[in-house]
Structure 1
Amino acid sequence: MSPDGGLVLQRGVPEGSEGQVAALYWEAFGRKLSPALDPPEKGRAFIAAHLHHDRGVVALARDRVVAVAGYQLAGRALTGGGVRDVLSAYGPVRGLPKLAVLALFERTPAPEEMVMDGIAVDAAYRGRGIGSLLLTQIAAVAAEAGCRRIRLDVIDTNPRARALYERHGFTAHRTERTPYLRRLMGFGAVTTMHRPVTGADATSPREAR
């Protein structure tokens, strides 16, 4: 069930809402993304221009995206854009250092594994259980794709996100200390978490109203 009668949960990013998704992503992860995609307005435009619409689950309120969770399957994630795209947007002088930063975010799924991106929720809609609904849908997508495990990374400065993941069956697998990234991106450790995909995950409804 939806936590609010006016909310609709939907798989896939609706056409025309790319800017809304990019704004949510930047609000949630801008500190981490800014070294690679600054200034903010250009970074949001880059994200919007290179979205893979079929690699996300969104919550809609009055046809506006108010929350999003992305995932990576079959070599494609919600946020895209390759080497040529970065160099075209920023030029070779600024683009090459940005590619080096973006490489820090690369995560390749293991066989039968889904890699999940973080969840971004509009500030006005937090505390309504939307993150839990998105995680349930992500698990259903993983089950239908034949995945046996979901993997994600959570930074040390986001304990609320880690608590949410733990409530949904994720457990810490390893923690990598990254003190060299604290000044650049604002965090000093990254914990990789795993969650098994079960048969029960496949029974989740495709959308909630």
Structure 2
Amino acid sequence: MTDINKILGITESYRAPEAMWKILKSEQTVRDNKFSEFLEAFEYKVSKDWFHEWFQEDHADRSVKKQDFTPISVGEILANITNNLQEKAYLKRYDVCSGTGGLTITKWNNDIITKGFMNYKPSQFLYVCEELSERSLPFLLFNYLIRGMNGIIYHGDVLEKKYNAIYVIVNENDDALGFSGFVEIKNN
């Protein structure tokens, strides 16, 4: 398994969210270089969430927030089922309590396969997530950006619909091989 802590430049996993925020908020060239380092370390295999097992072991808050992660196989089944939805297309790409984004990544990958890589444009798809955990939020955002996705992430309580911030993610060049950027909208 790839040493995520080493790539993040930390020795203790509890520092990972802070280190990830530092990457995400850094100057674009610095951020893009770190993205390239991650891509190389994971052999450019972007079809799966790299943080799934690592985050579940070290960061899931099972006792207080009852967090758990959707098994990869279940994500694949859901992605395939949603391909057949005719009505309410927005439901095809909505992930509530999204954690680090494994379910969304599976759907994104399924969309690329269905559309065909040569025909895929990020602007054709909008992925929407809601997440409460401050620890998983930077990893969720990272997963959107490194894959060049377009979307919206609501950070807050999905049941109460009270959000601390909203993140709008855009692949400005509409390039399937490019990275996305983001804007944070604070809710005061």
The alignment's TM-score, normalised by the length of structure 1, stands at 0.30
Report the structure, 1 or 2, having the larger strand content.
Answer: 1
Q: Kindly name which structure, 1 or 2, has the bigger radius of gyration based on alpha carbons.
A: 1
Structure possessing the higher relative contact order (Cα contacts under 8 Å, 6 or more residues apart): 1
